[in-house]
Structure 1
Amino acid sequence: MSQPSIMIKHVPKEDRPRERLIQYGGTHLSNSELLAILLGSGTKDESVMALANRVLMHFEGINLLKNATIEELTAIKGIGDAKGVVILAALELGKRINQFKPDERYVIRSPEDGADYVMEEMRQLNQEHFVVLFLDTKNQVIHRQTIFIGSLNASIVHPREVFREAVKRSAASIICVHNHPSGDPTPSREDIHVTKRLAESGKLVGIELLDHIVIGDRKFVSLKEKGYL
């Protein structure tokens, strides 16, 4: 027979998640403690900490939780619309904070700069996205655009689409970026072929392809550094 769940009101005050966050800061709290604060309360049969732990177990941790839907959350016993909406709002806010960039134009001086500009957003995508960064003469990003979503293929990622936008934006150069949802940024043969094709087309129109960066999970590969440009 399972032990009854300990209600949060019976937990010593200094051990409660809210009080611990106030005293020590969020970095000292576990994922379940942070989630318990968002949930606010448990049920009549289960403490908020037990409920938080069960939610995390359902999603096998925070990595899958970040893509949760309201339907998936409310299917868990003890999570209604109100609690589900609070979790989704917190997840969305976290994503926006990670993706926020100041208003001043971002300058790309190295492959690391280019990867940093898109890493947090692109490493979490479940499909391949082919993105182009359009730069001015000072290597400042003046525009970014997703050209294609899906497996990279030279017949689909056509130089015409890339350089038409570059001309429209009066770009001096471009950097192409795409992600590997597997998390492994090792370039494929198709990646290399697309890179060479875009580089040749850039020379014809006078807009240089500075780099093609493949994004993995907190890792990247620069095809320029690999000698393909």
Structure 2
Amino acid sequence: MNQEKPLTIKELPEEARPRERLLSFGPQSLSSAELLAILIRTGTPQESALRIAEKMLKQYDGVSGLSGVTPQELSRMKGVGAAKAVSIIAALEIGKRLSTATPHDRPVIRHPGDAADLLMPRLRYETKEHFIAILLSTKNHVLATPTVSIGSLNASVAHPRELFREVINYAAAAVIVAHNHPSGDPSPSKEDIALTRKLVEIGQLIEIPVLDHVIIGDGKYVSMKEKGII
């Protein structure tokens, strides 16, 4: 018994095509799979772009799971390839940056939760540890949040010299350091605590206070200041 060949997006009724629906009803009317299908553009003789998008979301457990995928890994999926993988990763990165963008005033860090909220969308799905500096003005406005270093799966490589170089380059009055735990558990390790104390000591010597060290997990965080370590 012959199986029917799946319809391509072009063969679907016009009102069912993701691009046409986006133009008519806006992007909010589309599912994640349909939005992803627009980026994929074309399918294979066996599967439509929409079907490939659905399989991709299932394989990586939704859009959030795609945030930690590399272009190389994504390109190995049948029907994707390098060009489509790059487009998808680029779109995801734009989404990450948009989620942390501040169109008007620079954000102010008043307590550890503000620092966690600032970096959570950027860090919670990273598969390697990223060590970030939150550089502050005299009134605790955020000047910049540069990445100081990127480590391995379970270890960041942060050198005080690299951190304070960024602080001095931006003429920051103070700094909060932060990094993520790819495991999702933000509990500090002995190495995290030792590094924190070392950075605080150096900051005191050069009169640039290290106000906190925030560890980002999956939807939760730990503040060294709140823990009494600083």
Alignment map for 1:209-228 (pairs within 5 Å): 209-228=210-229
Please, which runs of 5 or more residues in structure 2 have no aligned partner?
Answer: none
User: Quick one: structure 1 residues 84 and 115, their matched pair in 2 at CA, closer, same or farther if it must change by over 3 Å?
Assistant: closer
2:52 is aligned to: 51
CA distance in 2, matches of 1:135, 1:147: 15
2:135 is aligned to: 134
Q: In the alignment, is the contact (CA less than 8 A) between 2:97 and 2:122 conserved in 1?
A: no
User: Quick one: structure 1 residues 210 and 38, their matched pair in 2 at CA, closer, same or farther if it must change by over 3 Å?
Assistant: same
Give the match's secondary structure for 1:37: helix
Q: Pairwise CA RMSD of aligned residues?
A: 3.3
TM-score, length basis structure 2: 0.76
Q: CA deviation at 1:213?
A: 0.6
Q: CA deviation at 1:23?
A: 5.0
Matched, 1:87 2:88: yes
2:7 is aligned to: 6
Matched, 1:201 2:202: yes
Q: CA deviation at 1:214?
A: 0.5
What do residues 28-62 of structure 1 show as CA deviations (whole Å, max 9, x unaligned)?
43222222233344344433433333344454543
Residue identity in the other structure for 1:189: K
1:69 is aligned to: 71
Give the match's secondary structure for 1:178: strand
CA distance in 2, matches of 1:198, 1:170: 17
Q: CA deviation at 1:77?
A: 3.9
Max Rg structure: 1
Counting matched residue pairs gives 226
Sequence identity percentage: 47
User: Quick one: structure 1 residues 39 and 202, their matched pair in 2 at CA, closer, same or farther if it must change by over 3 Å?
Assistant: closer
TM-score, length basis structure 1: 0.76
Q: In the alignment, is the contact (CA less than 8 A) between 1:182 and 1:216 conserved in 2?
A: yes
Alignment map for 1:107-186 (pairs within 5 Å): 107-150=108-151, 157-163=158-164, 165-167=166-168, 169-186=170-187
What do residues 164-220 of structure 1 show as CA deviations (whole Å, max 9, x unaligned)?
554564432211111111111122222222223322333333322211111112321
Q: CA deviation at 1:224?
A: 0.9
Residue identity in the other structure for 1:203: Q
